[in-house]
Chains A and B, each alone.
Chain A
């Protein structure tokens, strides 16, 4: 088992470093989930998204790559056998894209309540469950008490609660461990760390995102691709 002691030691050292980096307020020793974006991990306490806590994504726009930002972490949760829950998203979570992006469908749960209170209730239940990895929520107006309940539920289940909220929500207080404001850029996202429990707020960084176009191995981009199924069913 200890065939490579050097590696084991270096692993342990890395873990120790990770543990000591977490500040004195480091969310009670809750683990962090590598975000897959180096520049972002470097700014987050513990080196990643806070598990067992809420993360707020503050933006007035939908479709700027907000989910793309979370995707590497969601993939690793799904690989670890934990489920991902979409609660009342303002769109249909698109199955072919989920599969393409490495999120197995048997790990995806889509909850449609269309009632704000029911959505919050469902989010709380899901966050409390250790079989769940992440809960994505789009509730527009959440009162402080509900936020606290969600935060407690996430702590209890050691799950990751993600709240998509309008930018104006920043002016109200929140128990979320992490609050990020997102702005679209031509080639990615500008992420402004508004609050980071156990870390430093105020950081701004540019996170490059995968472009929605395919580049083939030879470097050429997609030419006219015709999917004609004529006769396929004949």
Chain B
């Protein structure tokens, strides 16, 4: 067993969490990506909160704990949590070592005994009366306390004192209540000031998203969407307004950087109805992450991944309805022969999640494979025009739609406009009127 202990002296304040427990739960879920044994102890006015990760079992996955440690510390720094870390074979010793200003790693039992010995007695987590009594007996170092006969210590200070020392040096096992990952994710930031613009949300969001990334890695899951709930300041009528932003992704994702980019695009256009007091990130539907493999088709995979990211960004900024794919419909009336779909072209085959153009009739079963050429540009609705000067060919009669009330009888012609433009016009036989419906662009 090798325990990493992280001391978090200002956790609640830095996490902007409602209480210490909520902050610890968030950070424990984040830490779970590196260890399947995570536990924590809530701090109070006199003690800092502590978070433990058992790293020996993670060695196969992440390499030596001493190599993993810088990664963990870097993320803590990026998220803006002040902390001290220590590594030791027992949880109690790791916690004790975090009281130092510098990083201490005691990896073996032998290192532990020699490393603890010179430390001041005051670091021991014993009642202050016990420590005072030990000091008055002329002891000042931990090594001196450990050298005392345990039976004598137990008689003088009670069995708890001996238990603690035995757990400290690893003579007694020290089972910790293990943290369990929640099935749905919910993390909340409460601001102790009013946020008036969305720029101010970015820093707390960055941290929330990085914690979220840790949670997703821990569960080996990804998301296709998550929600941000913004709680507004009470308005004049005293009601709490809330707005919810859904961030959608076209491929399963768990990278915080990608989340942040989309959130940033989304916030760019957002006008706040009232200042914000709290922010909640939640996700309840998870999926298998898309693994981009660097194989023979790596370039194509990367390209479609880039495409998926582009579509997400466009939709986050412009809105879902602004980004459209096209599909054919089996109808002879030109204006009803297609539909725009909020689809994801080009990436459908890759992720298998967004079947954007599913249900598209194949081209051979539609009238278009055999019908006369159609122009690439359609005017919706058709423009009423004077009878055109030059009809190039035709007509192609389209008579259809009597069954759905959109009955048309039209003769279509390619024509040339007075300005040299290449037009697609029809003569409506019912109205006896001419319309411009397309352009041969």
User: Is A227 a contact of B371 with CB atoms below 8 Å?
Assistant: yes
Query: Is A92 a contact of B397 with CB atoms below 8 Å?
Result: no
Contacts of A95 on B, CB cut-off 8 Å?
A: 326-328, 337-339
Q: Which residues of B contact A90 (CB under 8 A)?
A: 377
Flag B306-324 by CB within 8 Å of A: 1 or 0 each. 1101110110011001111
B393 interfacial contact with A, CB 8 Å: yes
Q: Which of B366, B373, B378, B379 has the most CB of A within 10 A?
A: B373
In the complex, are the beta carbons of B420 and A61 less than 8 A apart?
yes
Give the interface size bracket for A toward B. Answer: 35 or more
* Interchain CA distance A184-B416 in the complex, whole Å: 11
Q: Does A53 contact B (CB under 8 A)?
A: no
A229–B330 Cα distance when bound, in Å, is: 11
Chain B, Cβ-Cβ closest to A91: B377
Instruction: Say whether A83 contacts B393, CB under 8 Å.
Output: no
Contact partners of A12 in chain B: CB under 8 A: none
Is there contact, CB below 8 Å, between B325 and A110? yes
Q: Is B275 positioned at the interface, with any CB of A under 8 Å from its CB?
A: no
Judge whether B300 and A222 touch: CB under 8 Å: no
* B323/A63 in contact, CB under 8 A: no
Best-buried of A106, A185, A226, A233 by chain B (most CB within 10 Å)? A106
Q: How far is the CA of A130 from the CA of B302 in the complex (A)?
A: 9
Given A91-B441, A111-B318, A98 and B303 contact (CB-CB distance below 8 Å) = no
| Contact flags B280-312 to A (C-beta < 8 A → 1, else 0) | 000000000000000000001011101101110
Tell me whether A43 is interfacial, beta carbon within 8 Å: no
In the assembled complex, which residues on chain B have CB atoms less than 8 Å from the CB atom of A126? 310, 314
Q: Is A201 an interface residue (CB 8 A)?
A: no
User: Interface stretch among A32-40, A139-147, A210-218?
Assistant: A210-218
Distance from A186 Cβ to chain B, minimum over Cβ atoms (Å): 8
8 Å CB contacts to B: which residues of A192-234?
Answer: 211-214, 221-222, 224-230, 232-234
Contact B328 A230 (CB under 8 A): no
Determine if A96 is an interface residue (Cβ-Cβ < 8 Å). Answer: yes
The answer to whether A227 and B397 have CB atoms under 8 Å apart is yes
Residues of B within 8 A of A131 (CB): 303-304, 306-307, 310, 346
Chain A neighbourhood of B311, CB < 8 A: 109
Please measure, in the bound complex, the distance between the C-alpha atom of A183 and the C-alpha atom of B419, giving whole angstroms.
10
Binary A-proximity of B347-390 (CB < 8 A = 1, otherwise 0): 01000000011001001001111011111111110000000000
Which residue of B is nearest A128, CB measured? B310
Residues of chain A within 8 A of B402, CB atoms compared: 230
* Interface locus among B178-186, B202-210, B421-429: B421-429
B396 interface contact, C-beta 8 A: yes
Contacts of B339 in A (CB 8 A): 95
Cα A97 to Cα B369 with chains together (Å):
10
Is A18's beta carbon under 8 Å from chain B? Answer: no
A96 B346 Cβ-Cβ under 8 A: no
Of B317, B368, B377, B379, the contact of A99 (CB 8 Å cutoff): B368
Contacts of B356 in A (CB 8 A): 106
Which listed residue (A97, A105, A118, A226) contacts B375, Cβ 8 A? Answer: A97
Q: Are B322 and A67 in contact (CB under 8 A)?
A: no
Kindly list chain A residues whose C-beta atoms are within 8 Å of the C-beta of B403.
233-234
Nearest-Cβ distance from residue B296 to partner chain A, whole angstroms: 15
B57 at the interface (CB under 8 A from A): no
Contact of B303 among A68, A105, A130, A185 (CB under 8 A): A130
Contact A107 B327 (CB under 8 A): no
Residues of A within 8 A of B424 (CB): 212
Query: Does A172 lie at the interface of the complex (its beta carbon under 8 Å from any beta carbon of B)?
Result: no
Q: Determine whether the beta carbon of B368 is less than 8 Å from that of A96.
A: yes
Interface status of B76 (Cβ within 8 A of chain A): no
A83 to B380 CA separation, bound complex (whole angstroms): 24
Contact B400–A213 (Cβ < 8 Å): no
A177 interface contact, C-beta 8 A: no
Residues 59 to 91 of chain A near chain B (Cβ within 8 Å): 61-68, 81-83, 89-91
Contact A92 B378, CB 8 Å, known A110-B340, A213-B393, A228-B397? yes
Interface flag for B22 (CB, 8 Å): no
Please pick, from A97, A100, A111, A184, the residue contacting B314 in the complex, using a CB distance under 8 A: A111
For B395, list chain A residues within 8 Å (CB): 224
21 contacts between A and B (CB under 8 A): A63-B377, A63-B421, A63-B441, A64-B421, A83-B345, A90-B377, A93-B378, A95-B327, A97-B373, A97-B375, A99-B368, A101-B376, A105-B327, A106-B325, A108-B325, A109-B311, A110-B326, A184-B422, A212-B440, A213-B414, A227-B367
Task: A67-B377, A186-B416 are known; give 16 further A-B pairs, CB within 8 A.
Answer: A63-B440, A63-B441, A65-B440, A94-B374, A95-B328, A96-B371, A100-B369, A107-B345, A109-B311, A109-B345, A110-B325, A122-B314, A128-B310, A212-B422, A225-B397, A228-B400
Interface residue ranges, A against B (CB under 8 Å): 61-68, 81-83, 89-101, 105-113, 118, 121-122, 125-126, 128-132, 183-186, 211-214, 221-222, 224-230, 232-234
Q: Which residues of B come within 8 Å of A, CB atoms?
A: 300, 302-304, 306-307, 309-311, 313-314, 317-318, 321-328, 332, 334, 337-340, 345-346, 348, 356-357, 360, 363, 366-369, 371-380, 392-404, 414, 416-417, 419-424, 438-441
